[in-house]
Amino acid sequence: MNVENLKETMIYEKLEDKKVKCGICSQECVIPPGGKGFCEVRENIDGKLYSLVYGRPVSIAIDPIEKKPFFHFAPGSRALSIATVGCNLKCKFCQNWEISQEFDDVYGEKYSPQDLVKKAKAWRCGGIAYTYTEPAVFYEYVYDTAKEAQTELYNVLVTNGYMTPEAIKKISPYIDAANVDLKGDYTFYKNYCLGLKGDEPVKRSLLEMKRNKIFVEVTVLLIPGLNDDDSTISIISEWIAKKLGKKTPVHFSRFYPHYKMQDVPPTPVETLERAREIAKDNGLWYVYIGNVPGHKYENTYCHSCGRLLIERHGYEITKFNIDKNLRCIYCGEKIPIEGKHWIPKELFHE
């Protein structure tokens, strides 16, 4: 393979016999010459580790930031959303399995980081979202694009959180926010995601992001019979409240049958509502129900007075009862929303 057209991986260790150990992701693959990592998009070529997907996005689209979902970062803005093929987990319930797991070879159009920034600006996006698959597997591409974009655009990760602390620390100066999936406990990750180290790498990543000033929202996909029991929900929400803070936005998302889990029914709405109650009882202020369009708990309510702050239907904001100082217009409570610069001016109350 001609390595002149490839990007050498930013974080890896050279071992004996030209083996290498990848340092981007928490799978920490040891790869022999000619081999690929768990993600299938990093290859050891003659003792050096290369990214096979740099500059080759397989998906480029414009999305409302609410679709990611981000409800407390730059609400009302639009993000240029990009992904390459590959993932560092093998979730049996993946929504994007065609590009994350079931691809025969690396493919995608050629876009440089500069091309992406130009496109985001031309399409009047507030920023760029690295999403759909897993940003860790196209880490170098994310890094260079985010660095190029940061003076004019925001950069957000939608990630499974299976990254090393070194990778997070290195990229953190260029990342504004992250929505991180926290899927379940150790057994859940081992059995349904092939996450060889369970849930601990995700929790470690969340803490590392907070330490490095990355704004965090958390998504928990509730799957009937697997991670939707009261005990699991309570443990997750209690950990978030204590370790990340009670103001951390949490999204309990509805599962629909997909990929290798076609035999599992959709999550009952009652389960999602119960999860929200448990999370609130554990001290979380902003808890949402996702994948249930029109549900009242896809809206934001003031923690202080309980009044409606942001009304949403799907990904559209229909009411915005927050002033320019990011305070509730009814009681003056300061609302934890980041990315004020990119919130459309027409949303604000005078």
Q: At what angle do helices 269-281 and 230-243 cross, to 10 degrees?
A: 40
* Residue 223 confidence class, pLDDT cut points 50, 70, 90: very high
Averaged pLDDT for residues 55-80: 98
Residue range 20-60, pLDDT digits in tens: 999 999 999 999 999 999 999 999 999 999 999 999 999 99
Is residue 316 pLDDT above 70, yes or no? yes
Q: Of all helices (H) and strands (E), which one includes residue 8?
A: strand 7-8
Domain ranges of the chain: 3-51, 59-297
End-to-end CA distance of the chain: 60
* Residue 160 confidence class, pLDDT cut points 50, 70, 90: very high
Averaged pLDDT for residues 187-214: 96
Residues 6+ apart with CB under 8 A from 68: 79, 129, 131, 156, 158, 179
Per DSSP, the three-state class of 210 is helix
Q: Is the pTM value of this prediction over 0.75? A: yes
* Residue 129 confidence class, pLDDT cut points 50, 70, 90: very high
What is the reported pLDDT for 198?
94
* Residue 349 confidence class, pLDDT cut points 50, 70, 90: confident
Q: Which tokens in the block code for residue 83?
A: 């992904």
Averaged pLDDT for residues 330-334: 97
Q: Indicate the average pLDDT of the chain.
A: 96
What is the reported pLDDT for 1?
59
Residue 331 near residue 306, CB atoms below 8 Å: no
Averaged pLDDT for residues 148-156: 97
Is residue 121 pLDDT above 80, yes or no? yes
Residues 6+ apart with CB under 8 A from 309: 299, 300, 301, 302, 320, 321, 322, 328, 335
Is residue 3 pLDDT above 80, yes or no? no
Q: Hey, what long-range contacts does 184-193 have (CB within 8 A, 24 or more apart)?
A: 184/226, 184/227, 184/232, 184/236, 185/227, 185/232, 185/235, 188/226, 188/227, 189/89, 192/91, 192/92, 192/93, 192/226, 193/89, 193/90, 193/91, 193/92, 193/160
More confident residue, 350 or 175: 175
What is the reported pLDDT for 19?
98
* Bridge partners, 222 (sequence order): 254
* Residue 350 confidence class, pLDDT cut points 50, 70, 90: low
Does domain 59-297 sit in CATH 3.30.930.10?
no
Q: Picking from 4-8, 95-99, 168-172, 187-191, which range would have the lowest pLDDT averaged per residue?
A: 4-8
Q: At what angle do helices 200-211 and 230-243 cross, to 10 degrees?
A: 30
